[in-house]
Chain A
Amino acid sequence: MISRLRPLRTRLALRSAALTLLAVALLGGASMIGALLINESRESAKQYQRLNELLDIIEQTVQVACFLDNRELATEVANGLLANRIVARVQILHGEGILVERGQASDRSASEPLERAVVSPFMPSEEVCRIVLTPNKDEIRNAVLEASLFTAAILTLQLLGIGVAVVLVLIKVVTRPIKILSHGIRRLAAEDGQKLDVLPGNEHDELGRLVSSVNGLIDRLMYALRSEREQRLQRELEERRYRSIFDNVEAGIFELDPAGRLVSANPAFRRMFGLNPKVNLDIRVVFLRDLTGDAQVQLDTALRCLQADSRPRHLDVKLESNNQIRWLSLLFNRFEQGRMQGVANDITERHLAANAAEEMAVTDALTGLGNRRGLSRRLQAAVRVYQSDPAYRCTLIMLDLDRFKQANDTFGHAVGDMVLQHVGELLTELVRKADYVARLGGDEFVVLLDGAVRRTDLEQIVSRFIKRVNQPFVVDGQTQVSVGASLGIAVLGEDAGTEEVLLHMADGAMYRAKQAGRNCYRFHQS
C-alpha cells in the first residue's frame, strides 16, 4: 500500500492531481446527492405536470364519455392514458359507481393520486364524473435515477479529464521546469561564480524569482568566500610577518601561564636559556624559574606582583653556564587570562661595560691601583662596617715618596711614571688580598689594611716596606733610581671614627715623619 502510494509522495504533479481530484470528487459527490434530492422532487413535480397535461388532452373526450355514460369511449380513453408509462392506474368514477378502472397501483409505489372533476360538456355547472390518475412512482424514480446516472457519468468523465489536465499542466508548467532547475543547480559550478539560467518563459513568474534568488545567494556566498579568502591571506601574511619577527629577533620572546610555565618561546629565548630548539613546550613542562639559576626567589616575587597589579616588571638575572657568565634582562607584561608575556635581552656586554666603567672610575690609570675616589668609597664602606660593629678596626697608612721630584726632574716623566708603577707593585706585594692600595695623586700612596693588626706587626710591615723602597732599581735597563718614603699611620676605631678625620690624622702623622728626617714612619699621636 505504502509502496503503491510512493509516486504520490515523489511526484508533485500526481499529488496535486490526486488532491484536486479528491476535492472535485467530494464536491461532485455532495452536489450529486443534492442534485438527486432536488431532481426527485422536480421530476415528481414534472410528472404531475405531465399528468395534468394528459388530463387536459383527454378531458373533452372524458366529458363526452361521462355525459353519455359511454363505457367504450371511457375505456378507450383509459387505455390511451395507460399507454403512458408514468400512469399506473386510471379510474373514472361516475356518481357512486365506477365507470372504468384500468391499470394497477401497487402499495409500494403508491403515491398521491391526481383527481379531477369532469363537468358536462354542455352544462359547466354539472359535474358528470371524476377521473383519478395514479402516477407510477417507480417510473418517476427510474427517470430520476437515469438522469442522475447520466449526470454521474458526465461528472466522472469530467473528473478524469480534469485529473489528466491537472497532471499535464502541472508537469508542463511546474514539475518539468523544477526538474530542469534542480538538474541545473546540481551541475552548477557556483564556486566559480557560475549563474543559473532562467528558463525561457519563466522570467517573470515564481520560478524566475526562484532562479534570481538562487543567483543572489550564489552572489552573496561568492562575496563572502572571496572576502574570507582575502582576510585569510591577510591574516596568514601578518602571521608570517610576526612569526618571522618572533623567530629572527635577537630578543627572546616568551609566554608564561599563570603558574610560570613556559607556553611558548622563540629561538632567541631558547638560545639564551640553553633550551633545545626542538623541545615542544606543549608537551614538555618547563618552568621559567628552573632556568633562571640564583634568581628564582626574585622571579617568583616579580611574577606574583605582576599577577596582582598588572604593572610591567623588570628583572636582571645572572646565568652561569660553561664557565661563562651572562646577564639577561627580563621584562614581564601581563597578557590575557592571567598569561604573561616576556622579553629577554642579553645585557652581558652592557653589564661588562658598566662594570669596566665603574672599575675605571676607581682605578688609577698609571699604576692600576685604586685612586682617590676608590679609596673614599672603600673608606666609607669601612666606616659603615665600624658603625654597625664598633669592634671593627682598619688601618690607614699614608705614604709619600722622598726624592721622587729629583728623580723626575733628572730622568724625565717617563722614568718617574715607572718609579710610581714600581712602588705600586711593591706595596701590592706587601699586603694581603683583602687589603687596599691606592695612589691619591703625584707620589702620594695609601694602603688600607682590613681588620685589626697588632702594632708590632704593623711596624714590621712598614719597616719592610721602607727598606724595599730604598733599594735602588734599574729602569729601562740602564737608569738606576733610588727613592725613599715617609709614612703616617692612623687606625679607624682607635684614632678616628670618620673618613675625613682618619685621612687628616694619617696625613698629619706622615707630615711629622717627613719633619723627622724622612724615610721613616710615624703613628698618629693623640
Chain B
Amino acid sequence: MNSQSIVLTLLLALCSPFAWAELAVVAHPDKKMISLDRAQLVNIYMGRYRQWPDGGAALPADLKDVKERFYRALVDKDLAEINSYWARLVFSGQVSPPVQLKSVTQVLEYVRRNQGALAFIDEADVPDDLKVVARLTEAAPQ
C-alpha cells in the first residue's frame, strides 16, 4: 500500500465512523481458545503450514463474497494475484488452495462440521457458537 492510499484511507476513516469494518476468522466450536496472529494466518491460508499451533490439520476456507476483502486485509493482494499464486502451484500437487464456499451459511456449516476448519466472515455474521481466532481490521473498500 502506498503512502497516498494510506492518507486517503485515513481521511475516509475520519469522515465516516462506519468505514471501519472488521473481518473475523472463525473456527470449530470445540476449538480451544486459540488466537492466531497474522503470520500464522498467512501460513495457513497460503499453504505453507496447514497446521494449527497446537497440532492438527488446518482446513482453511474462502467465502466468495468476502474473499477479496479478506486477502486485501491479510496480504494486501487482489484476487488476480492470489489466483495466479495458486495457479503456479497447482501442478506441483503438494499444496492446494483453500476450499471455495459461496455463502455464509455454507461457511458456517463447513466450520461446524470440520474439527480443523477455519474461515473468515464479516464480523457482523459471527454466530455465538463459533470461536473467533483472529480479527482483521480492513480499510474502507476502495
Report A's interface with B, CB cutoff 8 A. Answer: 61, 64, 67-70, 72-73, 120-123, 126
CA A121 – CA B94 in complex, angstroms?
Answer: 18
> Which of B38, B75, B94 is the one whose CB lies under 8 Å from A70?
B94
Q: How distant is B82 from chain A, measured CB to nearest CB, in Å? A: 10
* A124 closest partner in B (C-beta): B76
The answer to whether B92 and A72 touch across the interface, beta carbons within 8 angstroms, is yes
Report B's interface with A, CB cutoff 8 A. Answer: 38-39, 42, 46-48, 74-75, 77, 85, 88-89, 92, 94-95
The answer to whether A126 and B39 touch across the interface, beta carbons within 8 angstroms, is yes
**A67-B46, A122-B42 known, 11 other contacts, Cβ within 8 Å:** A64-B89, A68-B46, A68-B89, A70-B92, A72-B94, A73-B88, A73-B89, A121-B46, A121-B75, A122-B75, A123-B42
The answer to whether A68 and B48 touch across the interface, beta carbons within 8 angstroms, is yes
Contacts of B95 in A (CB 8 A): 68
Q: How distant is A65 from chain B, measured CB to nearest CB, in Å? A: 9
The answer to whether A67 and B48 touch across the interface, beta carbons within 8 angstroms, is yes
Q: How distant is B118 from chain A, measured CB to nearest CB, in Å? A: 17
Q: How distant is B96 from chain A, measured CB to nearest CB, in Å? A: 12
Residue with the greatest number of chain B CB neighbours at <10 A, chosen from A61, A68, A120: A68
The answer to whether A68 and B94 touch across the interface, beta carbons within 8 angstroms, is yes
CA A304 – CA B79 in complex, angstroms?
Answer: 148
* B84 closest partner in A (C-beta): A60
Write 27 A-B pairs (CB below 8 A) sorted by A numbering. Answer: A64-B85, A64-B88, A64-B89, A67-B46, A68-B46, A68-B48, A68-B89, A68-B94, A68-B95, A69-B48, A70-B92, A70-B94, A72-B94, A73-B88, A73-B92, A120-B42, A121-B46, A121-B85, A122-B42, A122-B46, A122-B74, A122-B75, A122-B77, A123-B38, A123-B42, A123-B75, A126-B39
* A68 closest partner in B (C-beta): B48
Q: How distant is A119 from chain B, measured CB to nearest CB, in Å? A: 12
With contacts A67-B46, A67-B48, A68-B47 taken as known, whether A123 is within 8 angstroms of B39 at the C-beta atoms is yes
Q: How distant is A73 from chain B, measured CB to nearest CB, in Å? A: 6
Question: Which 10 residue pairs of A and B lie closest in terms of their CB atoms, listed nearest first?
Answer: A122-B75, A122-B42, A72-B92, A68-B48, A122-B46, A67-B48, A70-B92, A64-B88, A123-B42, A68-B47
CA A307 – CA B47 in complex, angstroms?
Answer: 146
Q: How distant is A140 from chain B, measured CB to nearest CB, in Å? A: 32
CA A263 – CA B39 in complex, angstroms?
Answer: 143
The answer to whether A61 and B42 touch across the interface, beta carbons within 8 angstroms, is no
CA A251 – CA B89 in complex, angstroms?
Answer: 148
CA A121 – CA B85 in complex, angstroms?
Answer: 10
Contacts of B38 in A (CB 8 A): 123
Q: How distant is A121 from chain B, measured CB to nearest CB, in Å? A: 7
Q: How distant is B58 from chain A, measured CB to nearest CB, in Å? A: 15
CA A122 – CA B72 in complex, angstroms?
Answer: 11
CA A457 – CA B93 in complex, angstroms?
Answer: 205
Q: How distant is A294 from chain B, measured CB to nearest CB, in Å? A: 151
Q: How distant is B67 from chain A, measured CB to nearest CB, in Å? A: 15
